[in-house]
Amino acid sequence: MADRDGVIWYDGKLVPWRDATTHVLTHTLHYGMGVFEGVRAYKAEQGTAIFRLDEHTKRLFNSAHILGMKLPFDAATLSEAQRMVVRENKLESGYLRPMAFFGSEAMGISAKNLSVHVIVAAWPWGTYLGKEALENGIRVKTSSFTRHHSNVTMCKAKANGNYMNSILAHKEAEMDGYDEALLLDVDGFVSEGSGENIFIVRDGKLYTPDPSSALVGLTRDTIIQLAEEIGLTVIEKRITRDEVYIADEAFFTGTAAEVTPIRELDNRTIGSGSRGPVTERLQSMYFDCVHGRAANHLDWLTPVA
Ligand code: PMP
């Protein structure tokens, strides 16, 4: 990732990609205390646009607030930085990674008086789990790693350190031959994937876990709104893994994963074992929104030009 052409927005300046470096004693590298976002820009009918930019920026600020980290830029500047990196890297579509981290002034658990730095990078990134996955669904395994308790690392913060849990879970699932992991919360109820929220469909209704131990995903929020628009009932509740086994359909949502059908959990086929009709409808509505084909949701798109 480091050795490529392009520019990265780094503390207010556009820096050549290869020069966007930081010291090895940067505090966040040692302790994981940092916050970030995952955002996508799509080639829309109206030109390249960032999907739900303001909400992603807002979540970055919320994450920082939860961690007690004061960002040295305002939201307008960071939103503009995101538009700028897409433009300056001449991307028609891609993935954006804003991140805030502590500087290298001091080591130790106390993060007092440390400088806060912000970068925004953007690069081309196609489907996260593969095009095949979007059409035919993925095979998922319940993880042996439990999702963070909300009093452990603060689940509403998209915090760097939280992702050690995700990486352990994903790696385990991958090594066992699955595409993705499903993490349960400390009480054994379904929480989320390593980087996605989960939905199930049963008897025409949509269910999703109450997000007390999960990140409140913007794709999750998008899907809830779209489902309600087509008259589907959406219920937030505790969900058990065996409820997923007997669901008619299940799918993951996330900026990277978009709307990915789950065809199997723990070697139990879900529904027909392929993308179900409700998933397909919501997925297609989602792609209409991000590509600027949904007239009633153009406000979710921020053009980069
Ligand atoms: N949960 C986790 C742990 C994630 O990393 C992500 C990706 N940001 C999500 C859920 C989905 O969030 P969003 O739809 O906002 O990308």
Q: Best mutation site among 255, 289, 300 for ligand 1, i.e. most ligand atoms within 8 A of its Cβ?
A: 255
Interval 236-289: pLDDT, tens: 999 999 999 999 999 999 999 999 999 999 999 999 999 999 999 999 999 999
Whether 181 and 226 share a structural domain: yes
- Give yes or no for residue 143 CB within 6 A of ligand 1: no
- Beta strands (DSSP E) in the chain are 7-10, 13-16, 34-36, 39-44, 47-51, 94-102, 116-123, 138-142, 180-184, 190-193, 197-202, 205-208, 234-236, 249-254, 258-265, 268-269, 301-303
- Give yes or no for residue 208 CB within 6 A of ligand 1: no
What's the 38 CA to ligand 1 centre distance in angstroms?
A: 8
Q: Please, are residues 198 and 192 in contact by the beta-carbon 8 Å criterion?
A: yes
Whether 61 and 170 share a structural domain: no
Whether 176 and 77 share a structural domain: no
Interval 157-193: pLDDT, tens: 999 999 999 999 999 999 999 999 999 999 999 999 9
* Catalytic (active-site) positions: 158
Domain count, the chain: 2
What's the 106 CA to ligand 1 centre distance in angstroms?
A: 31
Q: Is residue 93 one of the residues assigned to a domain?
A: yes
CATH code of the domain containing 182: 3.20.10.10
Q: Is residue 230 one of the residues assigned to a domain?
A: yes
Q: Considering all CA atoms of the chain, what is the largest pairwise distance in Å, rounded to the nearest integer?
A: 57
Whether 179 and 119 share a structural domain: no
- Complex ipTM: 0.99
Number of other residues whose CB lies within 10 A of the CB of residue 289: 22
Q: Residue 62 is part of which domain span?
A: 7-123
Task: Output the six-digit token pair for 188.
Answer: 């054994």
What's the 196 CA to ligand 1 centre distance in angstroms?
A: 5
- Give yes or no for residue 38 CB within 6 A of ligand 1: yes
Q: Is residue 2 one of the residues assigned to a domain?
A: no
Task: Output the six-digit token pair for 96.
Answer: 């954006």
Whether 113 and 246 share a structural domain: no
Concatenate the DSSP letters of all residues of 165-183 into one string.
Answer: HHHHHHHHHHHTT-SEEEE
- In this structure, which residue's CA is closest to atom 4 in ligand 1? 195
Whether 138 and 283 share a structural domain: yes
Rounded to whole angstroms, how far apart are CA atoms 138 and 257?
Answer: 11
Q: Best mutation site among 185, 215, 216, 225 for ligand 1, i.e. most ligand atoms within 8 A of its Cβ?
A: 215
Interval 111-138: pLDDT, tens: 899 999 999 999 999 888 888 999 999 9
Q: Please, are residues 249 and 201 in contact by the beta-carbon 8 Å criterion?
A: yes
Whether 29 and 96 share a structural domain: yes
Q: Please, are residues 210 and 220 in contact by the beta-carbon 8 Å criterion?
A: no
Whether 157 and 28 share a structural domain: no
If 0-12 CB within 10 Å is exposed, 13-18 middle and 19+ buried, where does residue 12 land?
exposed
Q: Best mutation site among 158, 190, 208, 223 for ligand 1, i.e. most ligand atoms within 8 A of its Cβ?
A: 158
Whether 189 and 207 share a structural domain: yes
